[in-house]
Structure 1
Amino acid sequence: MNAYVSWFRPARARDVSVTFVHGGGGQGSEFLSTPDGRPGWVHAFLRAGFPVFVLDRPGHGRSHWREEVLGAALPPPSYEALHPRFVEPARHGGWPEAARHAQWPDHDPEAGDRFMASQGVMATTLAAAQRHVEAIGPDLFALTGRTVLVSHSAGGPCGWALAAIGGDAVAAILAVEPLGHPGLRHPLGTFADGLCAETPAGRHDPFGRPIAILTGEASWMRATNARAAAFLRERGCDVAHLLLEEHGLRGNGHMMMSEKNSDAVAALMISVLDRMLRPASAGSSGGNKRARSPDTET
């Protein structure tokens, strides 16, 4: 099974990298640039000295979906399904917090179309998506070395599953609006094993390193993320739940890496990550232990 990884290394690089794991039907390009053409989060982390790896999960972006390997895929998403939720939530009011959304780059009338053009097919179940990323996990960590996983949305469960494979190779996790909490019934599957759709294949504790969850003020993910953070705290994990409005970042929706204040969100993430990596014990498998039995393809 293949995935596509692009990487970038600053001239004076830190000894820990950052690996971006996209969500749903998205792709790694979401972190390279914004829909209105500004530099994306990759550039902010490079300026901060991190080597950066950008994963296109199996079947996404530059890793073409092959049904004979990955199984069936859902149809490509429609404008009617995604555009109101991600681009114009305040106009459509699909959830109470949607009225606060104010950060989509609407000064560029084509930004919404560019976002939609980046969205592709995805697995028919969350369990299948998890298995796909677990299959490429060992090769991914051989490439990244010790790394911080920055996951987004449906890439969140994939991030936990990767951490169970990577163990001490995963220094920290920044989970941006990760999908899932224990028992959540999603159209693509039930979260039957904590924050994953099925028990991770890796033998390490998925949550045994510093974790930060980021949630936007105008997102429908607020309750889900709060329940995920509570689950981690109950396990005794090292976790912080960052509500962006409490840090002066107002009006963000689910695609905060694409929004007008994306640079400010990245700056907050980097400052939090600096604190997470500061202790000498960073990178060790702390927290509540639960043992579990150039561009390239990996």
Structure 2
Amino acid sequence: SRMGWMTTPDGREGWSTSFLRKGHGVFLVDQPRRGEAGATASMTNDSIDTWSEDSKEYMPGDQAWYTHFRIGRVAPERYEGSQFPEGEEAQDQFFRQMTPNTGSFDMEANVAAMDEVMQDVKDMTGKKSIYVIHSQGGRVGWNVNPENVAAIVAIEPGGAPEIGSEQYKTLLAANIPIVMYFGDYIDNGPEDIQSTSFWKSVRDGAVAFAESYNKDGGNCTVVNLPDVGITGNSHFMFQEKNSEEIAQHVENWIKENVK
């Protein structure tokens, strides 16, 4: 939910406040059917974020997410050198920020919602949005109307646009600068955990996208944080102990690449 951008599990200021301090207007959005935008006509039956058909008891995938998003193998264990806030209270707050899907993911509805939001932002401010996307939100980000987008900052998106696809061509034609950030425990994650190979595939796909995008005249940077000396980050780098250092890295990229 957007709470993850407003605060951190250990109670520090989130990126929303950080970027306000850096001089940006900040607009936070929950996807339709998720978080505070939860109203829907039908329950979800997606994957592990689902309801039991027999009991209607909600069954969140807390432990699965903890492992898949590279915080540690099994909660409360954290990987060596982890920047994830330690302690039972921080872990509890982190899990409380996980909100259920109240309806199945609908790409068309999500894209339409974001297009409306960014049109509203443009109407209010006279400026296009620097669109910050994360995880599943990345799938939405590649599909929005580029007329309202000044740049895309992708925090471990769930994948990059397929090279040569309509998404790819649309972003390229609109000259949208893109940066994609990836954390730690990808090249050095446990080899017996499926998520390690998954995130390697996602990161390597992003690198291939960037190489092609730049070759075709676009502007895309992939930042593998350990390569720039920033280590210990999970999928939730914007909530971790060094979140402000990463925010400043993002801000530096914005100043250099967004006109």
d(CA) in 2 for partners of 1:136 and 1:34?
26
1:79 is matched with which residue? Answer: 62
Letter in 2 for 1:57: Q
Shift of 1:46: 0.7
Is residue 206–residue 222 contact of structure 2 (8 Å, CA) maintained in 1? no
Say if 1:73 and 1:121, in contact at 8 Å, map to a contact too: no
Aligned length: 224
Is the aligned partner of 1:211 residue 2:178? yes
Distance 1:161 1:51 in 2: 23
Distance 1:104 1:86 in 2: 11
Q: CA deviation at 1:88?
A: 4.1
Distance in 1 between the 2:70 and 2:79 partners?
Answer: 12
For structure 1, list consecutive stretches of 5 or more residues without a partner in the other structure. Answer: 1-26, 93-97, 183-193, 283-298
How has the CA–CA distance of structure 1 residues 114 and 160 changed in structure 2, closer, same or farther, with 3 Å as cutoff? Answer: same
Q: Percent identity?
A: 26
Residue in 1 that maps onto 2:121? 144
Letter in 2 for 1:63: A
What is the TM-score normalised by the length of structure 1?
0.67
2:202 alignment partner in structure 1: 224
1:260 equivalent in alignment to 2:238: no
Match of 2:221? 240
Give, in angstroms, the shift of residue 205 of structure 1. Answer: 1.1
SS at match of 2:185: coil
1:39-188 equivalence runs, <5 A: 39-68=13-42, 72-74=44-46, 75=50, 76-86=59-69, 88-89=71-72, 99=79, 102-106=82-86, 108-122=87-101, 128-145=105-122, 146-162=128-144, 165=145, 167-181=146-160
Which amino acid letter does the alignment assign opposite residue 233 of structure 1?
E
Measure how far apart 1:34 and its partner are.
0.3
CA distance in 1, matches of 2:206, 2:91: 30
Q: Quick check: 1:215–1:244 contact (8 Å CA) kept in 2?
A: yes
- RMSD between aligned residues: 2.7
The aligned amino acid for 2:149 is: V
More helix by share: 2
Distance 1:214 1:123, change over 3 A: farther
SS in 2 for 1:217: coil
Deviation of the 1:148 alpha carbon: 0.4
User: SS in structure 1 opposite 2:157?
Assistant: coil
In structure 2, C-alpha distance between the alignment counterparts of 1:250 and 1:77, rounded to whole Å: 29
In structure 2, the CA distance between the partners of 1:216 and 1:87, relative to structure 1 (3 Å rule), is closer
1:36 maps onto 2:10 in alignment: yes
Residue matched to 1:12: none
Contact 1:87-1:104 within 8 A present in 2 as well? no
The alpha carbon displacement at 1:99 in A equals 4.7
Aligned partners of 1:205 and 1:213: how far apart in 2?
A: 18
Q: Is the 8 A contact 1:156 1:179 kept in 2?
A: yes
Alignment gaps of 5+ in structure 2:
51-58, 123-127, 187-195
Cα distance change of structure 1 residues 238 and 244 upon mapping to structure 2, 3 Å threshold: same
Q: What is the letter of the counterpart of residue 66 of structure 2?
A: H
What amino acid maps onto 2:67 in structure 1?
Answer: P
Give the corresponding residue for 1:22: none
Change (3 A) 1:100 1:180: farther
What CA distance in whole angstroms lies between the structure 2 residues aligned with 1:173 and 1:79? 29
